[in-house]
Amino acid sequence: MRTQVGIIGAGPAGLLLAQLLHRQGVDSVVLERQDEAYVRSRIRAGVLEPATVEALCEAGAGERLLREGLVHHGIELRFGGRGHRIPVSRLAGGRAITVYGQQEVVADLIDLRRSVGAPLEFGAEVTAVAGTDSASPVITYRTATGEHELRCDFIAGCDGFHGVSRAAVRPGSLRTYQRDYPYAWLGVLAAVPPSAEELVYARHERGFALHSMRSPQMSRFYLQVEPGTKATDWPDERIWKELRTRLATDDGRRLDEGEIVDRSVTGMRSFVCGEMRHGRLLLAGDAAHIVPPTGAKGLNLAVADARVLARALTAHYRAGDPGPLDSYTATCLEHIWRAQDFSSWMTTLLHRQEGAAGEFDDRAQLSRLEYLCRSRAAATALAENYVGTGLLCPA
Ligand code: APR
Ligand code: PHB
C-alpha cells in the first residue's frame, strides 16, 4: 500500500491533520492501534481555545461543537473559603473558551473521515518506522489479518507520548526538556448537573481541586492526589467528601452529587522535544510534548501542531515550497513553550506541596492568588494565556 502521508494515531492531532490534508487534496492513511469504541469513549481534556474552535470549523468538524459546546467567559479561583471570578473574555479582547470534551472532538473527526470515505484503520498497531532519511519511508503495522507495510512520502507521528515514532528517532539526535511534578490528578466524571456556571480552580490545604463540566447534565472533577495512587483507592464516598471539603466556601455553596461513571489517575509532567522533524518523520501533539493538565493546553497544542503541519505539507505538495516544512519545529515551538510556561505556572499556583519548601511556597502561593484577584495586569496575563496567545498583537 502507498499514500502521500502516513499518519500514526487517531487522536485529535492525527485525525485533524488527516482532514485538513484531505481538504487540500493531499492523501493520507490513518493507523490506530486501539479499536474504534475505545477511542470514542476515552475521556480526556475538555477546554477549547478560540483558535482550536476555528481550526475544527476550518476542517468542517465544527457543526456539533458550535451547537453543543458551552461557551464560558470567565473562570473562578477559589481559595480561603471564597470564590474570585476572573473575567477572562473582558480581559482578553472578548475571546472565550468552549467546554467540549476531547472525546466529542475525536468522534466528530472520525465521523467526518468516514463521510468522505478516506482511509482510517482501527486495530492497526504500528510496530516500526523506517527509511525516514530517504524519499520513501515505510510504516510496518500489525492487524488481525497479519503484518502490513505502508509506503509514504512523509510519516506523521501523532501517536501520543508512549507511541513508536519518537522512539524511532536516532538516539543522540533528540534534545528533550522535562520537568516532573510530585503529584497526580484523580479525574472523575459524574452524571450530575454542574454545581457552578463556570470552571472552578480551587486551592486548598488538602490539595488542588477542579470543578469542570461536559454538558448541562454531566460534571467533571479533578483532585490532586499522590503519584502512584490507584483509582480504586477512591470509592465514591471518599471522592465526594474530598470534593466537598476542597471546594467548600464560607457562604456554603452547594455541591450536588451524582453517579460516578468514570474515574482515572493521570501523572503530571512537562516535556518538550526540541526537534519535531527528523527527515521525513514529523512529530505532532503528545508525541512531541506533554503539559501538566492544569492550564488545559494539551488538546489545544495538538490542534495547533496539526494545523501548522497541514499547512506545511500543503505548501510542499501544492507549491513545491519546502520552507514551511523546514520551519515546522520553530513555528510550533513558539506556541509550545508559551503553553509550557503557562501550564507549569498554573500548576504551581494551585497545587499543594509537602515539606519545608512547601511552607514557603504555600505563603507565596496565597500572595500570588490574592494579587491575581486584585491586579488587573496580573489577571490579564492569566486570561490571555488561558484563551491562547496565538492572536496577540505585539506590544
Ligand atoms: N500504532 C498505532 N497507533 C498508536 C500507536 C501505535 N504504535 N501508539 C499510540 N497510538 C495511538 C493511541 O492509541 C492514540 O489513540 O495514537 C493516538 C494518540 O492520540 P492522543 O494520545 O490523543 O494524542 P494527540 O492526538 O497528540 O492528542 C493530545 O490527548 O492526552 C491528551 O492531554 C492530551 O489533550 C491532549 C491530546
Ligand atoms: C477538563 O474539563 O477536563 C479540564 C478543564 C480545565 C482544565 C483541565 C481539564 O484546566
Pocket test for ligand 2, best of 213, 220, 343 (most atoms within 8 A of CB): 220
The predicted structure's pLDDT at residue 216? 97
Expressed in angstroms, the distance from the first to the final Cα of the chain is 51
Please state the rounded mean pLDDT for residues 169-194: 94
| Catalytic site positions | 72, 201, 293, 297, 386
Best of 31, 32, 113, 149 to mutate for ligand 1, by most ligand atoms within 8 A of CB? 32
pTM here?
A: 0.97
Mean pLDDT value of segment 195-218: 97
User: Measured between alpha carbons, how far is 277 from 288 in angstroms, rounded to an integer?
Assistant: 10
CA of 47 to the centre of ligand 2 (A): 6
Residue nearest to atom 19 of ligand 1 (CA): 11
**Inter-axis angle of helices 328-350 and 376-387, to 10 degrees?**
130
Instruction: Answer yes or no: is pLDDT of 391 > 70.
Output: no
Instruction: Determine the pLDDT at residue 356.
Output: 67
Cβ < 6 A, ligand 1 pocket: 8-14, 31-34, 39, 44-45, 102, 125-126, 158-160, 163-164, 285-286, 298-299, 302
Fold annotation for 181-268+354-387: D-Amino Acid Oxidase; Chain A, domain 2 (3.30.9)
Closest-CA residue to 377 (of 86, 83, 51, 50): 86
Which residue shows C-alpha cell 520513501?
Answer: 136
Could you give the CA distance from residue 296 to residue 35 in angstroms, rounded to a whole number? 26
Ligand 2, atom 6, residue with closest C-alpha = 296
Ligand nearest to the CA of 347: 2
> Do residues 83 and 75 lie in contact, with contact meaning Cβ atoms separated by under 8 Å?
no
Q: Which pLDDT value is given to residue 359?
A: 86
Give the CATH number of domain 5-72+95-178+269-347; options: 3.40.50.300, 3.40.50.800, 3.50.50.60, 1.20.1250.20. Answer: 3.50.50.60
Topology match between the domains 5-72+95-178+269-347 and 181-268+354-387: no
Domain residue extents for the chain: 5-72+95-178+269-347, 181-268+354-387
Distance 10 CA to ligand 1 centre (A): 6
Residue 102 Cα to ligand 1 midpoint, Å, equals 12
What is the mean predicted confidence (pLDDT) over 328-337? 97
Separation CA 159–CA 175 (nearest Å): 19
CB-defined site of ligand 2, < 6 Å: 45-47, 199, 210, 212, 220, 293-294, 296
- What is the chain's mean pLDDT, rounded? 96
Percent of the chain residues topping a pLDDT of 70: 98
